[in-house]
Amino acid sequence: MLHFEAIYPSLPFIVAGIGVTLKFTIISLLCGLPLGVILAIAKISNVYSLQKLAQAYTAVFRGTPLLLQLGLVYYATPQLTGNMYVISVFQAGIITFSLNSAAYSSEIIRAGIRAIDPGQWDAAKVLGIPTYQTWFKIILPQAVRNILPALVNEMVDLLKETALISIIGEADLLRRAQIVAAEKFLYFEPVIVAASLYFMMVMMISFFAKKLEKKLSYA
């Protein structure tokens, strides 16, 4: 038997977790994407040491579980600083999600840059356009247009991965559903509500991404 009526009074508490989840997702994405761009540029640069450093960074973050990375940042930071600095759950989450997202987005951005016709570089040089302007006014805008679907997938993955923050005590959407489940002795109902809210957020992201993609295709 299902008893959704038993959790009706707790619905505002669960829904409030959307703000926490979106906060981690948006801030981590805003921090991770610029770092991803830097890593992508380093990977295709002519500087061997930068290439290897960026590749090693990506290999570490793609080759280890996100939960392990989160645990290291949150639990190991006080030990490494001699308990001089106790990192907050919010800071640990933002740092971990941002660094992890940067590793994945760098590969997406690198692929987008590689897809640009090399002749555009030559044309920019002939016209005397500075390198930084070539990057930020010619190459990267085209790359972003090409990789927008992949970037949206990365945002969706990040949105779902932020649920891991509940493990170290942040009252996000999943954590609030678990709290209600423990209080009401009902697990299915509150978790289904949380799952439905996650699903709606993903659908909204996909909807607006398609609108943006269509708009860019006519730009």
Q: For residue 198, is it within any domain?
A: yes
Q: What is the pLDDT of residue 218?
A: 62
Q: What is the pLDDT of residue 122?
A: 80
pTM: 0.90
Report the distance separating Cα 41 and Cα 39, nearest Å: 5
Q: For residue 86, is it within any domain?
A: yes
Q: For residue 13, is it within any domain?
A: no
Helix (H, G, I), strand (E, B) or coil at 127: coil
More confident call, 135 vs 109: 109
Count the domains in the chain: 1
Mean pLDDT score, 78-88: 84
Give residue 79's domain range.
Answer: 32-216
Q: For residue 152, is it within any domain?
A: yes
CA atoms within 13 A on the CB side of 136: 6
Report the distance separating Cα 162 and Cα 17, nearest Å: 12
Quick one: which of 185, 162, 2, 195 has its CA closest to 96? Answer: 162
Report the distance separating Cα 173 and Cα 163, nearest Å: 7
Report whether pLDDT(83) > 80: no
Confidence tier at 204 by pLDDT (50, 70, 90): very high
Q: For residue 27, is it within any domain?
A: no
CATH at 209: 1.10.3720.10
User: pLDDT by residue (tens digit) across 128-149?
Assistant: 888 888 887 888 888 888 888 8
Confidence tier at 194 by pLDDT (50, 70, 90): very high
Mean pLDDT score, 191-196: 96
Report the distance separating Cα 18 and Cα 125, nearest Å: 48
Q: What is the pLDDT of residue 177?
A: 95
Report the distance separating Cα 39 and Cα 53, nearest Å: 9
The average confidence (pLDDT) of the chain is: 91
User: pLDDT by residue (tens digit) across 36-57?
Assistant: 999 999 999 889 999 999 999 9
Q: For residue 123, is it within any domain?
A: yes
Residue type, 170: E
